[in-house]
Structure 1
Amino acid sequence: MPDVGDLVTARLAVDPADNTTAAALLVTGPDGGVTTPVVTGADGGATWTAPVTYTLAGLWRLSWTVTGTGAGVQHEVVSVAPAPALMTDVRSYATTTQLATKLKAAPPLDAVDLLERATRLLDSDFLLSAVYDVDSDGMPTDPVVAAAFADAVCSQVEFWGEVGVETDISGPLQGVVIGSVQLQYGAGDNRSGPSYYAPGLTRALASIPADKIRWAALSGGCPW
Structure 2
Amino acid sequence: MGNDARRPQNKRGSGGQLREDIVRAAARLVEQGDGTPTLRAVAREAGITAPAIYAHFDNLDEVLQAVVLSTFQALTAHLRGSVAGLTDPVERLRAACRGYVRFAVDRPQQYGLLFTSPLPEPPPDPGKLLETMEGAEAFAFLLDAIRECAIAGRSHSDDLPRDAIALWVGLHGYISLHLSRPHFPWPPAHGIVDTLIDAHAHLNNHRPSGAG
Compute the TM-score of the two structures, normalised by the length of structure 1.
Answer: 0.30
Name whichever structure is richer in helix by fraction: 2
Name whichever structure is richer in strand by fraction: 1
Larger RCO (CA within 8 A; separation ≥ 6): 2
Q: Is the radius of gyration larger for structure 1 or structure 2?
A: 1
